A and B are shown apart, each in its own frame.
Chain A
């Protein structure tokens, strides 16, 4: 456990170095957020029927999504790990006296955390003080905020375990780009990254609700905005935990199987 912790800490400080890059990212995300909100504003202004989510809640959804992009993007690529697998340097990793699953998990987790920590505070801070149509409201009460935080945290753990599955698949395919791009695109769509889940048509929502992807992004954001009530949120967090357990178990099993068959082609 201590080894994993130190890998985590190393990666975290490493990631925190890229402050200018983060600043550029913040600017991009602001622009993005504004554009998306304006589009929704235009859609809402002409809407005739009752909508399943209010514009204010939607704006919260968009800003949270921009602020915690590093937490919710499935496609957060670590070329180092890919190269380990494709160049055969994986052999070194296998020599280490700690489990490879835990090690990589800690690495990926720290990477996302560092990226999000650098970006989320400036975005949230500004979003809370923007002029009115764009302002992000505060959470309803402290309890909702706590629920949001824990949902976000478990969502983060879930997305790391999902992306672990993607990395493990590279053992089989050896060519990361194509298949992972597809997996990433579909997963992000189902997580509500392209359009928010409540605005999807009925039949698609039914599909989305049985898959794990929405628990990583859509669920915590809607807990914050109060679109999901506290009782539902508590149940939701339970479901998140079950998913997390299943995903980690699957990942460990797949990893063990992949490593048994791994062929290192020189180095």
Chain B
């Protein structure tokens, strides 16, 4: 953990060398989800609601998934650009060091400019919470934090899976974007507006629905029956990380260097 802190401090210093470019990039990163949010706002201005969901509720949903995505892009960027590490043989160096591979790859990249995205989603979250009339309790705040952690775990898990594929394909696979970008795009609306097959896939296989939709039902007081399963749904996201890490260690054993 201390080592990871050092990795991050190092990367922070190196990225701050280009200060103007850094701030512009951060601003740009702020604008990307902002334009999506503006689109959402205009749609709600015209339609009023979507399958019984109000704008503020969808905004809450939106901010949680975007925040998780921004955080995991910050932390797990090393896995996202892992194909270059394999492609030019640099992964050999990682293997000979006496620390875990996951930690080293996590520490190899850290995108501070994603703070822009994070700021945007924090802003939306704050706004949505201030607009919604609901009675907050300690428990609800905890569930909210839990949801974000769970989302970060899912996205990181997908990044790791995509990186694991590189052990066999060497080249990066664009197909994983379906689940990262596509998953984010999809999960910014409550899951129940989609067709059955989408709902099933994203609840039981890749549990995006457990990150925001199910616990949101509890937070907004829309759940029926026992609250406990709704509160604990984000656990599924954390559990998702386990098979991904297993796949990773399986992949590392199969790694064959490309040389350099």
Contacts and interface: CB of A to CB of B under 8 A. Distances in A.
A177 B43 contact: no
Interface in B190-207: 193-195, 198
Contacts of B193: 38-39, 42
Interface stretch (A43-51, A87-95, A96-104, A236-244): A43-51
A259 interface: no
Interface stretch (B48-56, B65-73, B90-98): B48-56
A186 B39 CA distance: 12
Contacts of B49: 46
B144 interface: no
Interface string A164-203: 0000000000010111011001101100001100011100
A28 B183 CA distance: 11
Interface residues of B, number: 40
Nearest to B177: A28
A32 B188 CA distance: 13
Nearest to A184: B28
Interface in A123-148: none
A35 B177 contact: no
A34 B178 CA distance: 12
A27 interface: yes
A31 B176 CA distance: 12
A188 B35 contact: yes
A206 to B, nearest CB: 14
A185 B42 contact: no
Interface stretch (B19-27, B126-134, B245-253): B19-27
Contacts of A194: 35-36, 38-39
A185 B18 CA distance: 22
Contacts of A28: 174-175, 177-178, 181-182
Contact of A31 (B36, B173, B178): B178
Contacts of A175: 18, 20-21, 24
Contacts of B31: 181-182, 185-186
Interface residues of A, number: 35
Interface in B86-122: none
Given A31-B182, A46-B49, A181-B32, A199 B43 contact: yes
Interface in A6-54: 21, 24-25, 27-28, 31-32, 34-35, 38-39, 42-48, 51
Contacts of B39: 189, 194-195
B25 A201 contact: no
Interface in A47-77: 47-48, 51
Interface string B133-175: 0000000000000000000000000000000000000000111
A48 B26 CA distance: 40
B46 A182 contact: no
B24 A47 contact: no
A172 B36 CA distance: 29
Interface of B: 18, 20-21, 23-29, 31-32, 35-36, 38-39, 42-43, 45-52, 173-175, 177-178, 181-182, 185-186, 189, 193-195, 198
18 contacts: A21-B174, A25-B174, A27-B178, A28-B175, A32-B185, A43-B47, A45-B51, A47-B47, A178-B23, A179-B24, A182-B27, A182-B28, A194-B35, A194-B38, A195-B39, A201-B42, A201-B45, A201-B46
In order of increasing CB-CB distance, the 4 nearest A-B pairs are A178-B24, A181-B28, A42-B193, A24-B174
